[in-house]
Amino acid sequence: MRFLDLLTMSVNNLRRRKLRTALTVLGVIIGVASVVIMVSLGIGLNQLMLEMYSSYGDMTTVTIYSGSRFDSGSSDSDPMYLTDDVVEQFKRLDHVRGVSPMLSVYVMLKQGLYETTTEITGVSQEYLENIPLGQGEIPQRGDPMKLIYGNCVIQWFRNSKTGDGYWDTQELPAVDFMNKPMFVIFDMDAYYQSQGGGESGVKPPKKYMIEAAGVVEGSVDDYNNYAYSVYTEIEGLKAQLKQIFKKRPIPNQPTNKKGKPYPYFIYNSAVVFVDDMENVTEVQKAITDMGYQANSQMEWIEQSQQTYDMIQLVLGGIGAISLFVAAIGIANTMMMSIYERTKEIGVIKVLGCDMANIRNMFLMESGFIGFMGGVIGLAISFAVSYAMNNFLGLGQAMMGIEGDISRIPLWLAGSAVVFAIFVGMAAGFFPSLRAMKLSPLAAIRNE
């Protein structure tokens, strides 16, 4: 028997009992919709959490601190400094895409009346390229030292005459990073000594004019990972520092046991870029095993993820119960239908309809009930999901950040329909076997 003929017969049989078919389909609709909505909530919560963490910082990075930076001499072994050699070692680890050392220097920024003390962090070119800029451009490799300002840095500036800043006046200082020159004082010791009444005989240190390369994207009030920092390319920074301090020790760089500075730079921290979120934990462990202190967002995410997996399981389970009830409904409908059609099944058997065809006809009927329930249930799920996301603001209420609480990805939509068909066919399986085995003699009997 041709597939199309079989399908036509099945659909005709369903159309014959419209109300009963509709009620059975309704059961599946409720089942499918509850499963899809519950799972979509689970997915939504999980992704909201990930979004929340990623707003705190990149999730594929591991940050390494050189823990023993300032207590040299307390032990005999060499302290675990983060040097270029160590950075090279990190680069050779599996799954590591790149490593950026981070070197912080404490400086004063001056523009006109306004000034502030802050840290400039030297990072690799690669790191710079990950910073989303609102204005300007990432400096090219080999450019002279340029600064990238966080979008909130402007808040730190104070009027040097009145001493008032943004926090006192609620007015943004008239600082323009991009268009006016910024002066940077690197030698803060000398600066403070020269400020001390002018009697100490120390000359005020030299100010360097350093160009801005760009400002991080976002308004003054938007927090992000880069908002309060000033970045520059690390090689440029190192060159600048060497030029300024010459043979003198560079402030904040540790010294050896004799009090002499090391001939190389020692970094405050380093950031390791991992190729995939899933490998972050592995890389972090490798670095910890090397003796360094390492942190990543993954530690927190993994814990939360377990919680949310649990929530998703519970939600999905609740939905699955109603789908199970719907499956019982389908089985019941099919049984009733077979009792009613005993004679008809007998007739088509006498007329030579293959037993497998009879079974398939009933399987298709129940599968079709599942399919209709699946499609309509999915449509309802999308509607409910849309309503939850746009009118209830649950995301804000539950997680504290903006975002959709209910998300139906394509795989969920697709598998919901497929699963509904499967449930329908599974529920119709035993009834269809029963139909197949009905005796053709039923057709001969005359009632």
Partner 1 sequence: MGVVRYSHDETGSTAVRYREGTGLSERKEEQGAVCSPLKERVPIIQVKNLYKIYKVGETKVYALGGVDFTMYRGEFCAIVGPSGSGKSTLLNMLAGLEKPSRGEIVIDKIHIEKMKENELVAFRRARVGFIFQSYNLLKTLNAVENVALPLSFRGMPRRKRNEIARKYLKLVGLEKQMNHMANAMSGGQQQRVGIARALAVNPRIIFADEPTGNLDSKTTMEILKLMRRIVREQNQTLVMVTHDNHLASYADRQFHIVDGKIFKIEECRHDEEEEIK
Report the residue number, 5 or 126, with the smaller CB distance to partner 1: 5
Instruction: Determine if 21 is a binding residue for partner 1 (CB under 8 A).
Output: no
Report the residue number, 221 or 447, with the smaller CB distance to partner 1: 447
Rule CB under 8 A: choose which of 19, 209, 351, 410 binds partner 1.
351
Contact of 94 with 170, CB cutoff 8 Å: no
Subset of residues 153 to 192 that bind partner 1, contact rule: CB under 8 A: none
For 305, phi then psi, to 5°, come to: -60, -40
Report the residue number, 7 or 87, with the smaller CB distance to partner 1: 7
First to last CA, the chain: 30
Give the gyration radius of the chain's Cα atoms: 35
Report the residue number, 378 or 438, with the smaller CB distance to partner 1: 438
Instruction: Determine if 342 is a binding residue for partner 1 (CB under 8 A).
Output: no
- Token digits of residue 77: 């072994």
Report the residue number, 146 or 349, with the smaller CB distance to partner 1: 349
Instruction: Determine if 348 is a binding residue for partner 1 (CB under 8 A).
Output: yes
What dihedral do alpha carbons 417, 422, 424, 425 form, nearest 10°?
A: 140
Subset of residues 305 to 324 that bind partner 1, contact rule: CB under 8 A: none
CA distance 99 to 64: 10
Nearest distance in Å: CB 338, partner 1: 15
Rule CB under 8 A: choose which of 69, 146, 349, 407 binds partner 1.
349
CA distance 283 to 271: 12
Instruction: Determine if 380 is a binding residue for partner 1 (CB under 8 A).
Output: no
Report the residue number, 97 or 434, with the smaller CB distance to partner 1: 434
Contact of 25 with 366, CB cutoff 8 Å: no
Which of 332, 334, 344, 343 shows the shortest CA–CA distance to 365? 334
CA distance 332 to 315: 27
Nearest distance in Å: CB 373, partner 1: 23
For 294, phi then psi, to 5°, come to: -130, 140
Instruction: Determine if 18 is a binding residue for partner 1 (CB under 8 A).
Output: no
Only segment of 156-164, 173-181, 349-357, 361-369 that touches partner 1 (CB under 8 A):
349-357
Which of 38, 51, 39 shows the shortest CA–CA distance to 402? 51
Instruction: Determine if 444 is a binding residue for partner 1 (CB under 8 A).
Output: yes
Instruction: Determine if 16 is a binding residue for partner 1 (CB under 8 A).
Output: yes
Report the residue number, 379 or 433, with the smaller CB distance to partner 1: 433
CA distance 380 to 391: 16
Instruction: Determine if 19 is a binding residue for partner 1 (CB under 8 A).
Output: no
Only segment of 279-287, 292-300, 311-319, 340-348 that touches partner 1 (CB under 8 A):
340-348
Query: Phi/psi zone of residue 263: left (φ > 0), alpha (ψ -120 to 50 degrees), beta?
Result: alpha
Nearest distance in Å: CB 337, partner 1: 13
Contact of 346 with 441, CB cutoff 8 Å: yes
CA distance 334 to 223: 59
Instruction: Determine if 340 is a binding residue for partner 1 (CB under 8 A).
Output: no
Which of 269, 223, 329 shows the shortest CA–CA distance to 119? 269
Nearest distance in Å: CB 13, partner 1: 7
Query: Phi/psi zone of residue 427: left (φ > 0), alpha (ψ -120 to 50 degrees), beta?
Result: alpha
- Residues contacting partner 1: total by CB under 8 A: 27
Instruction: Determine if 13 is a binding residue for partner 1 (CB under 8 A).
Output: yes
Instruction: Determine if 446 is a binding residue for partner 1 (CB under 8 A).
Output: yes
Report the residue number, 18 or 92, with the smaller CB distance to partner 1: 18
Instruction: Determine if 441 is a binding residue for partner 1 (CB under 8 A).
Output: yes
Instruction: Determine if 392 is a binding residue for partner 1 (CB under 8 A).
Output: no
Rule CB under 8 A: choose which of 74, 352, 391, 397 binds partner 1.
352
Residue where the block lists tokens 């100490």: 200
Binding site residues, partner 1, CB under 8 A:
1-2, 4-5, 12-13, 16, 343-344, 347-357, 439-441, 443-444, 446-447
